[in-house]
Amino acid sequence: MSLNLEEGLRLGAKALNLNLSDEQVQRLLGYMALIQKWTKVYNLTAVRDPADMLTHHLLDSLTAIAPLSRHTQGQPRKVLDVGSGGGLPGVVLAICMPELNVTCVDTVAKKAAFVQQVAVSLKLPNLRGIHARVESLTDPYDVICSRAFASLPDFVTWSRSALAEGGVWMAMKGKHPQDEIDALPADVKVFHVEPLTVPGLDVERCMVWMKPEAATPA
């Protein structure tokens, strides 16, 4: 892995006010190397250029760390990354927040297998990949996240059976998805939308936080 990628990663993390250890930096670079290696065979991502991979994948996923850390407050939490593909942002969360227990679910078997391989190769006991439809999951997760997965209404509807009591949804989106927010089920409430800035990428990004709303007694 070339030095300029490491430098780019370190600069990006600094811009996001993330204090990553050397070990975390090396694991993130190792993860990127695994994506590059596997993509040749398995087509995990359309982004092939390492510099683009750094901004579009790693740094983009790293924008989730600070908001999620504020939410979990360092507590061990179970996180489900839906439609995770090659493990974005799930693998990045597992590397940067070792207190989390991260499961990446994807309907494509080879993508789930890749995440399992990452967990073994990078020695991440808090990461697993499962091949399943999210609708079939019933284990409770404290945070269910997605990045560029589906519309917000589909995301919350499909993953609802896996949301723990008191759990939240965290969706990484492009520009503010007002139409999707308006189309959410009546008993799902958006309690926070925060803009995200990806270092080195001039794009609109935001994080939409949602939770089920208890029915008010008539």
Report the chain's terminal Cα–Cα distance, integer Å.
61
Both structure tokens of 31: 């993860």
| C-alpha separations of 64 from 101, 113, 194 in Å | 16, 24, 11
| C-alpha separations of 188 from 93, 160, 182, 191, 212 in Å | 25, 10, 11, 9, 4
What band does 1 get if pLDDT is binned at 50, 70 and 90?
very low
Q: Which domains does the chain have, with CATH numbers?
A: 3-212 (3.40.50.150)
pLDDT tens per residue, range 191-209: 999 999 999 899 999 999 9
Report the SS3 class of residue 127: strand
pLDDT at 119 over 60: yes
What band does 14 get if pLDDT is binned at 50, 70 and 90?
very high
The arithmetic mean of pLDDT across residues 115-139, rounded, is: 97
The arithmetic mean of pLDDT across residues 144-164, rounded, is: 96
